[in-house]
Structure 1
Amino acid sequence: MAVYFRKGLEIPEPSDYSSSEDDDMTYFTDLYEHEHNLPESVRVINKILNSLVDRAWEDISKQDKIREEAEATKKVPVLSPCKEYTIPCRTNAIVCSDDGLYLFLGHAHGLSVISTSTLTCVTTWKDERVELTSISCASLENCTHLLCTVDDMGIARLFVHRTENIYFIKVLNETDDINQRHICTKFEVSKSGDFGAAVMTSSGSVWLDVYRFPQELWLKELEIKQATHTHAPTEVKLSPIVLLMKIKPPEIPAGTSLKSPFDVLQKTGDGTIIGSGQNHMISSFQWENQEVAFRKMFAKYLSTHPMTPSQQKPKGPSSCTFHFLLHEGLCPLPGGTKPTRDFPIVLCLWWSGSNNLLQYLLVKTTKEKTDVEPRPDILWPNSQEILCSAVSACTRFIVLGLVSQLVTVWDRRFEMYLFFTSSGGAVCPYANIVIPGDSALCRLKLILQSPEQLQVTPLHQGPFLPKLQFLVTCRSGACYSVTTRHGGHSQIAAFIERPADPGSFATVVEPMPFLKSLALLMQRNGQVSVWEMDDAAPVFIINLPQTHVLGPVWKPVHVLDPVQQNLYIRGDRKTSLEEVMDKEEGDSTLFLYSFAQCSVLDLYRIPWPATIETRATLSGLEEACNLYIQERFDSLEERNRNFAIHWKRLQKRVFE
C-alpha cells in the first residue's frame, strides 16, 4: 500500500512538545481535521479497525458484567456454632485426645478436662500461681492420657489423666534456687507415650533432654491406687522417669594439623573418616582457603551490604525442633530387637541456623553405654539453612523448608547410605522443590491421603513410591500447595496469594485430615473459613456470634477433632476499654462447629479410618526388592513415554 504524506503536517521534534494540556489537544485536533484528506483505502481500513475494537470492548464489558453478576449471585454458605461452653480465663492451649473423648485446656490457674460428648468439665487441676501455655497429649490404654505442659514461667510439668481423675506426677526442671532454674521452651510427648523431649535454656545455652516414660508400670500402679483409695488423690508417686540423653548443639569441627590422607587413616585407626559429621579430618588451611574463596566470590555483596553487629546472627543456636520417628527402612534394629507395637525408635532434630538434620537412636542395646553427650547416629546434609520441618503421619517422609525457597523431601525407607561407618552415613533426598517468590518459608503442613485416594490418582506410583502433598506457607502470607513424587515432576499451585491488606494475612493454614482437598484458614482480621486447595476458593465461612471475636487473632486457640469431625474455637466477648479495666478476668467461650452434619461437605468427606496413613511393614530385603521391581515393571510404559518427551525437548534445545 502506498504511503501518502501531506505537506505541512510534520511530526515535531521532542523539544517542540509542550507540557501544557491545551497544546496536546490542539495537536490531536489538527490530526483529526486532516483525516478527510487521507486516501479512501486508508479511511476504510481505519473504520474497520475502529469497529472491531469497539466490538471487542463490548464483548469484554459483557463478560465482565456476567462474571460480576455470577459472583454476586453465588453465596458462600455460612456455618454457625452448634454448641458453646464458657471456658476459664486466659485459655492459651487446647488439645484433643486421639480417641476423641476429651479436650484438655491449659489456662490460668490450672488444667481442665472437658468431655466432648456432653461438653462439660470432668475434672480440673488448680494452682493459683500457674498459667499453662502449651500442652502435648498422648493416649494410653484403658482411657488413660499422658499430658506434658509448659507454663508462662518456663516450668515443665507431667500429668496423667485417667477416667474422671487427673494426677500430677512431677516437675521436670524443679530447683530450690530460682536463679539456677532451667527454662523449658518446649515439652512434647511421642504419640505412643513412651518418650518425651524438652528443650531447655540457661545462661544463653540450649540443649535437649530426652526421657523414657515407664507407662506400663504407671498403668499398673494407677490401677492399684484406684482400687485401694476411695477418693483418688490429685498427686501420686509413680515410678521415676529415665533421662536417656542430653543432646547439645554440635560444635564445628576444628582443623587438624595432619598433612596427608595417609596420616589421617593412621590417626583414626579404624578408618572412619566420613560419618556423622562430627569426626571429619579436615586440615586448618582447607578451612582458611574455603573462607578466602567465599569472600572473593561474594566480595561485591559483602562490601556493599556489610552486616552491622546488630544484624549478625548469634554464635550459637537459640532453639531446637525435633520429631519422633517410627521404624522405617531396610536396616534392622540394634541388637535384632523387634518392637511389639508402634513406638518411636529414632529422634530426628535440627538446630536453628544449621544445615544438618541429625538422627539419634532411642533404642539402645544393653552393651552400649549411655553417653553423656551422644553423637548423632546419622547426618542428613542439606544445601541451605533449615527454617521449618514436618513429618508424615507414618513418619516415613520428612519435609524440610530451607533458605532460598527450597523444599527438600527425605524418604526414610530408602536410606541410600553413601558411607557405611560406625557413626552412620548420609542419605539421598526423595525430591527437591523450589517455591516461587522471594519470601522465606515459615510453616509446612503435610496432607493425609487415604488408600482410596492413592488408588484413583493417576500420579500414584504405588505404596512403595507414593505421591506426597503438602502446604507451604511463606512469611509474606502466600501459601502454596505442592504435589511431588520420586523422580517425577512437582506441581506447585498458589493456594493463597500474597495479601495486599495486612488484615487479610493468614495466621493459620491447616489441612483438614477428614476432608479431602480442604484447608482451614484463619486471618488476622478475625475471619475463619474453609477453602478448597485445588480451586483456591472458599467452600463455606465459619461464623462467630456478633458478640464475640476470634481470640487472640495473632495466634488463634483452636483444635480439630478428626474422630468426631469437629472444630473448637476460642472466642472472646467484645468489650470496651472501660469494661476491660473494670474486669479482672476475661470472658471467653469455646464454640463447637460440627462438620459431620454439614451437607456441603458430602463431596469432600473421607471416613476417619481411611485417613490414617498405613505403614507397609517389610519382613526383609528380599521382599522390599521384589516389591520395588514389581512397581518398576508396572510403571515401565509411563517412564518410556516420559523419556521420549524429555529427549525431544533436549534435542530441540540443542539445535536452537
Structure 2
Amino acid sequence: MYNMKSSTSSEMTSVSGSARKLRKKPLLLKLTNASQLPQNTNCLACSDDGRYLCLGHAGGLSVWCATTLNQDAQWLQERLEITCIHMTTTGDTFYLLASIDDMGVARVFMFNLECIYPFSVINSLEDINKRNVCFNFEISEGGDYGAASMRCNTDIWLDIYYFPVDDWMRELKDPKLSANMKWSPAPRVNKIMPSAATMTDFSNMLTHCLVLEDTNEPPRHCTYHFLLKCGHSHGQNKPKSAGCPITVCFWWNGSYNLLYHMLSKTTKSKQGPEPQPSVLWPNAAEIVCSAISRCTRFIALGLSNTLVCVWDRLAGAPLSVCTLSTDSAFLRLQFADYCLACTDITQTLTTGEIHLVVVCKSGAVYIMNTKRGEATRSAQLSQRPKDSGDVLAVTASVAFLRGLSLLVHRNGKMFLQDVVNGATVCALIPPTNHLLATHCTPVYALNVKQHILYMQGVQESTLCSSSIRDERPSQLLVLRFDEHDVTKPYVVSPPQSPRLQAISITGEEACNDYLHERALSMEERHKSITQTWKRLQETGAYVKNC
C-alpha cells in the first residue's frame, strides 16, 4: 500500500550535538569472571522475575540461581546437545522452559524449585526419513502458548500449541500424579501453511487492494510475534485475560502480507478446512524484518524498498510511514525502550515518542523518532563499517537503562549506546586475558530485574592450546550495572509487565480520542504540509533551471 517515496513525511537529519561524544574515548566497564560453564554451553536465558538463569549445553540443560550462580537443577540425556532455550515464569515457584536440540527436536519442561520435569516432546523422531525438524521454538510470556517453525523435506509450516500450565502446576503438586509422570497433553491448536498467505478469500473491495504474491521460490522461514489484547470492548462481553496473548502475527519470507491468527485453546478438527488468517495487512513490497514494542501495541515492518511502517494496533492504522535514504537492505528492527515505556499509551490513542533502531545489512545503523501528528525524524547513528569485524552482531535494547542499547560487534567490541541521542555511554570489556566465546553469535542474557548482563567468555590461553571447541572450557562473565556510576543515571524501574495491564476501551471512546488528537495536531500537520510543498517548489525550480 505504500510505494511512493515522495509521500513520506520523514526528514533525514544528521547526528550532531550529543553525537560528538562518539569521537571521545568512552569509559570502560570490565566484566568479571564469575563461574565455569558446562561443556558446550550454547545458550542462556533469564527468567522474567530475575531469579534464575537457564543454560543449554551438551548433555541437556541446567538451572542456576541468578544471584549466587549455584546450580539448582539439571536435566541430562546422553548424546544430546541443547542449542536454543527460552524461559518464562508461570507461577510463584514454577517456570516453563522451551528448548531445541542439535537434531531439531523441540521439548517443553517445567522447573519447580529443585527439579526439572520433561512435560512434552513437540516433534518426536518416529521415522528418521519423515521427521519434522524444528528450527525456531518460542513460548509466550507466561507460557500459555508456543509457536514452532517446522520443516519436513521441502515442506514448511508454523505450529501453534496451547500449554495447560495451570493443569501442569496442579499435577506437580499432586504426589500421585507427579510420581506417575502422566501430564496433561499440550494440544496443537493450529497448523498454518504458507498457502494461507495467498489463498485467503476476502471481500471484492479488499481483494482489489491486496498485493498478489507471485514468487518463484517457496517460503523458507516464518517470523512470528505473540500479541496481547489491544482493542476495544464490545457491549457486555467479558474481556479476555490481559495476561494471555490473544493473537499471533506472522509473515513468510518473500511475502508482502502481515497475517494474524486468533489463538485458541482447543484443537481444530482435522477434517475442517485450513485455518484462514483473521486479519491481513498488505504492503507494497516484501517484508524483510519486523519488531514489536514491549506492550505489543506497535508493530514495525521493514520492507525491501527501504520503507519502514510502524502500525498502531489500537488505532488500527499506521503511526508512521518513512523511507530511509540508504542503499542497503534492512537486516533487523528494534524498538528502543525509553521513559515513555508502555504504561498509559496502551489505553489511549495518544502516544508518546516512539524510537526505532534500524540496522542495515551493510552495517549502517539508523534511529527513527516518530509521534502521532508529527513528522518522522530519522538520523544515522553509524555508517557502513570499513572492516567486516566492525559489523554489529547484537543490538539489544536494555529495558532497565533508559534509551540505551547493547551493541556487540563481530570483533568482540561491546558498547552501551544512547540510541536516542546518538552518544556512546561506555565500552564493555571482558576480564584480562579473556575474549568473547563466539564473536559472530555471542551467547548472552540480560537480567531485567537485577540489572545484570551475563555473557559467555573464554580464556585466550585455551584458544592457543586447542582448536577444538568441544575441548575449550568457557566462563560466565558478569556485569552488574548498578555498581557503576556511569550507568546509574540511566537506571529505571521497568514498567509492570504488559501481561498484567488491562486494555479495554469502547469504540466510542477510541473515536473521541482520535478526533481530539487530530484537533490538537492540526497546527503541526499544517506546518508539515507547508514545508512539504515548499520543498517541492524548490525542487521544481531547481529542475527547471537545469
TM > 0.5:
yes
3-state SS of 1:154 partner:
coil
Q: Is 1:623 the counterpart of 2:479 in the alignment? A: no
Measured in 1, the distance between the counterparts of 2:182 and 2:267 equals 28
Measured in 2, the distance between the counterparts of 1:388 and 1:527 equals 25
Query: Which residue does the alignment assign to 1:442?
Result: 331
Change (3 A) 1:177 1:433: same
Q: Which residue identity does 2:139 align to in structure 1?
A: V
Measured in 2, the distance between the counterparts of 1:469 and 1:316 equals 34
Q: Deviations over 1:302-329 (max 9, x none)?
A: xxxxxxxxxxx76210111111111223
The answer to whether the Cα contact below 8 Å between 2:137 and 2:148 also exists between their aligned partners in 1 is yes
Change (3 A) 1:251 1:142: closer
Change (3 A) 1:128 1:578: farther
Aligned residue among 461, 476, 482 for 1:590: 476
3-state SS of 1:481 partner:
strand
1:414-563 to 2 correspondences below 5 Å = 414-415=315-316, 428-451=317-340, 464-563=350-449
Q: Is 1:136 the counterpart of 2:86 in the alignment? A: yes
Which of the pair has more CA radius of gyration?
A: 1
Q: Is 1:316 the counterpart of 2:218 in the alignment? A: yes
Measured in 2, the distance between the counterparts of 1:241 and 1:316 equals 30
Query: Which residue does the alignment assign to 1:609?
Result: 495
Measured in 1, the distance between the counterparts of 2:469 and 2:515 equals 69
Moved more, 244-253 or 635-644: 635-644
Provide the aligned length of Structure 1 versus Structure 2. 519
Measured in 2, the distance between the counterparts of 1:525 and 1:543 equals 12
The answer to whether the Cα contact below 8 Å between 1:449 and 1:613 also exists between their aligned partners in 2 is no
Measured in 1, the distance between the counterparts of 2:107 and 2:341 equals 41
Measured in 1, the distance between the counterparts of 2:209 and 2:33 equals 64
Query: Which residue does the alignment assign to 2:204?
Result: 273
Q: Is 1:198 the counterpart of 2:139 in the alignment? A: no
Q: Is 1:167 the counterpart of 2:56 in the alignment? A: no
1:98 to partner: Cα distance: 0.5
Measured in 2, the distance between the counterparts of 1:71 and 1:178 equals 54
Q: After TM superposition, where is structure 1 displaced by more than 6 Å over at least 4 residues in a row? A: 251-254, 364-370, 452-455, 610-614, 650-656
Q: Which residue identity does 1:376 align to in structure 2?
A: P
The answer to whether the Cα contact below 8 Å between 1:393 and 1:613 also exists between their aligned partners in 2 is no
The answer to whether the Cα contact below 8 Å between 1:83 and 1:593 also exists between their aligned partners in 2 is no
What do you get for the CA RMSD once the two structures are aligned?
A: 3.5
Instruction: Point out where structure 2 has 5 or more consecutive residues left out of the alignment.
Output: 1-20
The answer to whether the Cα contact below 8 Å between 1:508 and 1:520 also exists between their aligned partners in 2 is yes
Q: Which residue identity does 2:400 align to in structure 1?
A: F
3-state SS of 1:178 partner:
coil
Change (3 A) 1:644 1:436: closer
1:349 to partner: Cα distance: 0.8
1:27-176 to 2 correspondences below 5 Å = 75-82=25-32, 84-176=34-126
Query: Which residue does the alignment assign to 2:183?
Result: 238
The answer to whether the Cα contact below 8 Å between 2:189 and 2:265 also exists between their aligned partners in 1 is no
Measured in 2, the distance between the counterparts of 1:452 and 1:195 equals 25
1:391 to partner: Cα distance: 0.9
Q: Deviations over 1:393-451 (max 9, x none)?
A: 11111111110211111121122xxxxxxxxxxxx533211122211111111112334
1:465 to partner: Cα distance: 3.5
Q: Which residue identity does 1:241 align to in structure 2?
A: A
Q: Which residue identity does 1:321 align to in structure 2?
A: T
3-state SS of 1:393 partner:
coil
The answer to whether the Cα contact below 8 Å between 1:451 and 1:610 also exists between their aligned partners in 2 is no
1:468 to partner: Cα distance: 1.6
Measured in 2, the distance between the counterparts of 1:650 and 1:357 equals 33
Change (3 A) 1:141 1:511: same
Instruction: Point out where structure 1 has 5 or more consecutive residues left out of the alignment.
Output: 1-69, 255-267, 292-312, 416-427, 456-461
1:608 to partner: Cα distance: 2.5
The answer to whether the Cα contact below 8 Å between 1:245 and 1:370 also exists between their aligned partners in 2 is no
Query: Which residue does the alignment assign to 2:192?
Result: 247
Q: Which residue identity does 2:327 align to in structure 1?
A: D
Q: Is 1:330 the counterpart of 2:232 in the alignment? A: yes
More strand by share: 2
Change (3 A) 1:316 1:369: closer
The answer to whether the Cα contact below 8 Å between 2:394 and 2:408 also exists between their aligned partners in 1 is yes
3-state SS of 1:201 partner:
strand
Change (3 A) 1:429 1:327: same
More helix by share: 1
1:140 to partner: Cα distance: 0.5
Measured in 1, the distance between the counterparts of 2:278 and 2:196 equals 16
Query: Which residue does the alignment assign to 2:458?
Result: 572
Query: Which residue does the alignment assign to 2:259?
Result: 358
Measured in 1, the distance between the counterparts of 2:120 and 2:267 equals 28
Q: Is 1:381 the counterpart of 2:282 in the alignment? A: yes
1:504 to partner: Cα distance: 1.3
- Greater RCO between the two (CA within 8 Å, min separation 6)? 2
3-state SS of 1:250 partner:
helix
* TM-score, normalised with respect to structure 1: 0.72
Measured in 1, the distance between the counterparts of 2:281 and 2:153 equals 30
Q: Which residue identity does 1:317 align to in structure 2?
A: P
1:466 to partner: Cα distance: 3.4
1:120 to partner: Cα distance: 1.0
Moved more, 175-184 or 398-407: 175-184
Measured in 2, the distance between the counterparts of 1:369 and 1:240 equals 17
Change (3 A) 1:513 1:582: closer
* TM-score, normalised with respect to structure 2: 0.86
Measured in 2, the distance between the counterparts of 1:628 and 1:281 equals 25
The answer to whether the Cα contact below 8 Å between 1:187 and 1:199 also exists between their aligned partners in 2 is yes
3-state SS of 2:495 partner:
helix
Aligned-pair identity in percent equals 37
